[in-house]
Amino acid sequence: MNALLSIYAWLETGLVALVGFCLQAPMVVTWPFDKRKVITGRAFRLIGVTAAKLNPFWKFAIHGKPVPPAPRTVVVSNHESNADPFIISLLPWEMKWLGKASLFKIPFVGWSMWLAGDIPVRRGEKDSAQAAMAICARWLDKGMPVMIFPEGTRSKTDDLLPFKDGAFRLAIETGADVLPMAVSGTRRALPKHSWRFATSRALVTVGTPISTKGMTLADLERLKQMAREQILALRATLMPLTGVEGGTPPEKERAVTPP
């Protein structure tokens, strides 16, 4: 039964992506008047929201009442599975996402990402990473938040992977705030290296912005740790609500609850 329902869920997701792209594509006529690509961006996020709501396995929601970030903000989150973008898309504001370049080659989904203004990056290529960060900086200059998973890839366990420098270096160099957020429950929704979906209640919650005013690159490690601790604390509040065993971060490091 799981296999049949998973096949249905993939077909439903593909159909939503196809129809969504066909509706989104004509919206490029707004680009001369919408330099931040808010309209095509929000259209793509709504494609993800629709696919999630129609998925028979998933029950996704926002925890709390998040306040939209300041225009110049680097948003960072833990990364549990490929279902994370679906649940984060529930948040009622637009931001441009840094994503694997290979995703942009997927028919309809990747094309919609390009129309939304998302930023491709090729893993392990320094030149690609630098070019992607430059694009992120330009979006910030336009008053558009950017969304980055600082772990760089999905964690296979409840432990957070080490954070890469990119998001935090970007924030310091551009004077942007860092906004931590956390997801919980999505790892079960679509396990890594599996095509089968699983029944999952997942939540996303948003933390408190961290100002980088007065920071230099000498503060990079401190900024990373501040964001990491807040993400751990946010996730700890979600874990009991999503049925994740334990309800506290499994890492030896323990988060300090943000004020």
Q: Is residue 249 part of a domain?
A: no
State phi, psi for 156 to the nearest 5 degrees.
-80, -15
Choose the weakest-confidence range: 48-57, 59-68, 120-129, 148-157.
148-157
Cα 37 from Cα 30, distance rounded (Å): 8
pLDDT at position 59 over 50: yes
The 10s digit of each residue's pLDDT in 148-176 is 999 988 877 778 999 999 999 999 999 99
- In percent, the amount of the chain with pLDDT more than 70 equals 94
Q: Is residue 258 part of a domain?
A: no
Q: Is residue 186 part of a domain?
A: yes
Cα 25 from Cα 28, distance rounded (Å): 6
Choose the weakest-confidence range: 90-104, 224-238, 245-259.
245-259
Q: Is residue 32 part of a domain?
A: yes
CA contacts within 13 A on the Cβ side of 186: 25
Cα 43 from Cα 88, distance rounded (Å): 14
| Average pLDDT value over all residues in the chain | 92
Cα 30 from Cα 192, distance rounded (Å): 37
Strand ranges across the sheet with 58-62:
58-62, 200-206, 177-184, 73-77, 146-148, 96-100, 119-121
Taking the mean position of all CA atoms in its chain, how far away is CA 173? 21
Residue 245 is predicted with a pLDDT of: 61
Q: Is residue 117 part of a domain?
A: yes
pLDDT at position 185 over 70: yes
pTM to 2 decimals? 0.90
Residue 256 is predicted with a pLDDT of: 36
Q: What is the dihedral angle through the alpha carbons of 126, 132, 133, 136, rounded to the nearest 10 degrees?
A: -170
| Helix axes 126-141 and 166-174, enclosed angle (nearest 10) | 40
pLDDT band at 246 (very low <50, low <70, confident <90, very high): low
Under 8 Å between Cβ of 158 and 167 = no
- Domain of residue 101, CATH code: 3.40.1130
Residue 36 is predicted with a pLDDT of: 97
Give the residue from 163, 168, 165, 192 showing the smallest Cα distance to 178: 168
Q: Is residue 52 part of a domain?
A: yes
Q: Is residue 255 part of a domain?
A: no
The 10s digit of each residue's pLDDT in 67-120 is 999 999 999 999 999 999 999 999 999 999 999 999 999 999 999 999 999 999
> What are the distances in angstroms from CA 6 to CA 21, 55, 57, 194, 197?
22, 9, 8, 11, 6
Under 8 Å between Cβ of 119 and 135 = yes
Tokens describing residue 68: 């939209």
Q: Is residue 257 part of a domain?
A: no
Task: Show the domain range for 49.
Answer: 2-238
Residue 243 is predicted with a pLDDT of: 86
- Count up the domains in the chain and report the number: 1
3-state helix, strand, coil in the chain (%, to 5): 45, 15, 40
